[in-house]
Structure 1
């Protein structure tokens, strides 16, 4: 009887420790983010003083493929900024319609491009286009709110075009990218300049260099360079510290 009593005590102690650990993890997550009303186009969730924007749904896919995008964003210059090599392995995070994915795939003749998105409809659009054009060096990846779902040290370059500010869990996503990036890899963060009020984009969909550096530094990255040759966007290059 005594042995049964002692066993019961051990089980209760183990359950208590598990619950305590879970509470601590939840508390840590809650401390990372704050919640308050803000911009009508925001989700009311804040990270390091910045409100997170609503995700653009797959219904806006035509806007991603608009005919004047090259003129507005100079996407050709962006690709030159990336200095893409034939054997590069690149992750296009928040790939959307694959606008940049297919352009990069042409430049990585011996490499590979992962098109990562959280919306299955976007990934299906990429797969359809890939089949039609018979492109063999693209793989679609279903991401999550907290992970890009790629293997450790699997990519040499990561591209994020106007998507980071919409991540519901930016800290976890940066940590996921840190894990998947090679030691000498680079992240190319493309965001509309918050410093320029003349840019015709809603403020919550912009980001300052200072804010981006603060958030990426918190998860082990440092700014290598800000290439200021795009019309409306920052081209911030981050590397591991």
Structure 2
């Protein structure tokens, strides 16, 4: 009886050990970078890659003194492992180690650019260049705290990319006063300038009445900006003939400096 009991206990131990090994194997697969069928680099660990450096230029300024810096603002973000190397100066827009882009909300500073640098190449030589057609997404980024991280890369963009849509982590009420943007889709095509009284950003409510994201419609003209980061009480409801709200829009606002 004792021998049978010991054998049963060993069986339980081996089963537990096997389950742990299987779990470790699955975790190791989840954090391993791979390539998609088209050769795009698909990122491990929840599809996120943190930049090793963050740079800004041609717009990083002190509003009180109206001073525009002549040199890029550079901030180290993380250390490279192994043979990876992080370049701390501004790189060409076609660099494989950097993504160059603009952000909505800085529209009146048309030259204001950002660069996220990475230890390893974002894409490789065989990756196709973006076609710059409507609806094409060059890459996606995710906001984590105050950091923008890389989620996916779809094509090589050789000019500063621009935000085309923003998604939220969960549905929000239209009366929410805070900006809840988390996921950013970036396009390589140039954004046109907004017309008079046109919405620069549109959010369409879901069937539950909540908002799950919005689309950037155009760039605000010089001396104005799209108040997406100050969105509280600025959503303008648009109503159809049946008195139903079709979407909410943001209007370009004039700068105070």
TM-score in terms of structure 2 length = 0.27
Name which one, 1 or 2, has greater alpha-carbon Rg.
Answer: 2
More strand by share: 2
